[in-house]
Amino acid sequence: MAIIFTDPTSAPTAGPDTIIGNNANDTINGLDGNDQLFGESFTGSISGIAGSDVLYGDSFAGSVSGTAFSDTLFGELYTGSIAGGIVIGGNDILSGDYYASTILGGTVTGDSDNLFGEFYGSSITGGTVTGGNNVLYGEFYASSITGGLVTGGNDLLYGAFYNSNLIGGIVTGGNNKLYGDFYNGNIIDGSVVGGQDQLYGDYYAFGTSIAGGTVTGGKDILYGEY
């Protein structure tokens, strides 16, 4: 059952609202203002437009999307997913944390964005990241960053720790760093075009590889270290 703290006689178009949907399949739409929207436990679906919003899809496949300003979007704990959608402007953080979480597709445009697929087999797959200084993480224990398009700005793409992979995709312009770090990290195929780029396959040489792909223009550094 959803609990909505707002004026029950009007549409949720303004004001700092707190909306909670617990233990059900709730759909919550928040417009304008600095809202906090919670879709907790079992496929809560939430969306927020404008304002500095905090959107939570916690525990068990919460699905969240937000546009404009500085938003924090969470799909946390046990296969939480952030799938599709468009995030435009502001300094955004999209998190798919812990235990096989996923960030799939979608478009992130402008400003300085952080996309996380962290811990234990998390993945960031496809999608488009355009402009700004972006950080894309696929961290710890066989995480992967696969495909997608990263265009402009100074970008960091990480496939870090223990058999992580940074596979395919296109990185265009700006000063980019692509990492496949620690113990069999791989940077495989893909295209890096323009800018001053650094591609790393670091530490211990236990099968670390930078394989295939195209690096074109700019002052580029490719590392297969230690």
**pLDDT tens figures, 177-217:** 666 554 445 555 566 665 555 665 544 333 445 555 555 55
Q: What is the pLDDT of residue 189?
A: 54
pLDDT at 182: 47
Going by C-alpha positions, the residue among 148, 135, 75 that lies closest to residue 106 is 148
* 197, 223 Cβ separation under 8 angstroms: no
Provide the pLDDT for residue 7. Answer: 44
Most confident of 17-21, 37-41, 82-86, 99-103: 17-21
The answer to pTM > 0.75 is no
Q: What is the pLDDT of residue 61?
A: 40
CB 212 within 8 A of CB 192: no
18-38 in b/e form (b: 16+ CB < 10 A) is: ebbbeeeebebebbbbbbbbb
- The DSSP code sequence of 32-72 is SSS-EEEEESS--EEEEESSS-EEEEESSS-EEEEESSS-E
Please give the pLDDT value at position 68: 44
Cα(182)–Cα(158) distance, integer angstroms: 11
3-state class of 106 per DSSP?
coil
Per-residue confidence (pLDDT) for residue 41, from 0 to 100: 45
Give the model confidence (pLDDT) of 17-53 as tens digits.
555 555 545 555 555 555 555 544 434 455 555 544 5
Task: Return contacts of 148-152, CB within 8 angstroms, 24+ apart.
Answer: 148/124, 150/176
Give all strands of the β-sheet with 123-125 in edge-to-edge order.
27-31, 45-49, 63-67, 81-83, 102-104, 123-125, 144-146, 165-167, 186-188, 209-211
Nearest-angstrom CA–CA distance, 21 and 145: 31
What confidence score (pLDDT) does residue 127 get? 60
pLDDT, one tens digit per residue, over 113-164 is 556 555 444 556 556 666 555 566 655 545 566 666 666 555 666 655 545 5
**The pLDDT of residue 83 is above 50:** no
How many CB atoms neighbour CB 214 within 10 A? 10
User: Cβ-count burial of 174 within 10 angstroms (0-12 exposed, 13-18 middle, 19+ buried)?
Assistant: buried
Q: Which pLDDT value is given to residue 43? A: 46
Sign of CA dihedral 83, 96, 140, 78: negative
Per-residue confidence (pLDDT) for residue 62, from 0 to 100: 44
CA dihedral 154, 89, 28, 104 (to 10 degrees): -30
